[in-house]
Amino acid sequence: MITDEQMARLPAYARREIERLRADLADATKRLGAGPEDSDTFADPYRDQPRPLGRGTPIQFGADDLANFNVRLDKDGALKIQSSDPIVIAPGAANTVRIFRDVERRFL
């Protein structure tokens, strides 16, 4: 981060460019945080400005060599999870569950 003292020593054209870049960054950050007002799905929910994705937007997790998990809220507000492989739901502490693919299919 450039200090005010360093900024003051820069040529005018460099100061203008830095200010323009800062404004562009602020605008982009604002647009990332903007979205449908009735969103119930957010990316990066623990950031200062979570990114609203809309209502019931499906989200896919996974990679080519892993199971794909598709997650969304259905019309009743329930979390719907679909996978390309069988899944196992393991209860965790308090109000937590872990969901993972059943590679060995030992639970089927």
From first to last of its 108 residues, the chain has per-residue pLDDT tens of 789 999 999 999 999 999 999 999 988 877 766 666 677 788 877 777 777 888 778 888 766 666 678 888 888 888 888 887 788 888 888 888 888 877 665 554
Residue 45: C-alpha distances to residues 1, 17, 51, 57, 79 (Å) = 26, 32, 7, 15, 16
β-bridge partners, 54: 41
- The pTM of the full predicted model, rounded to 2 decimals, is 0.50
CA angle 67, 63, 107 (to 5 degrees): 15
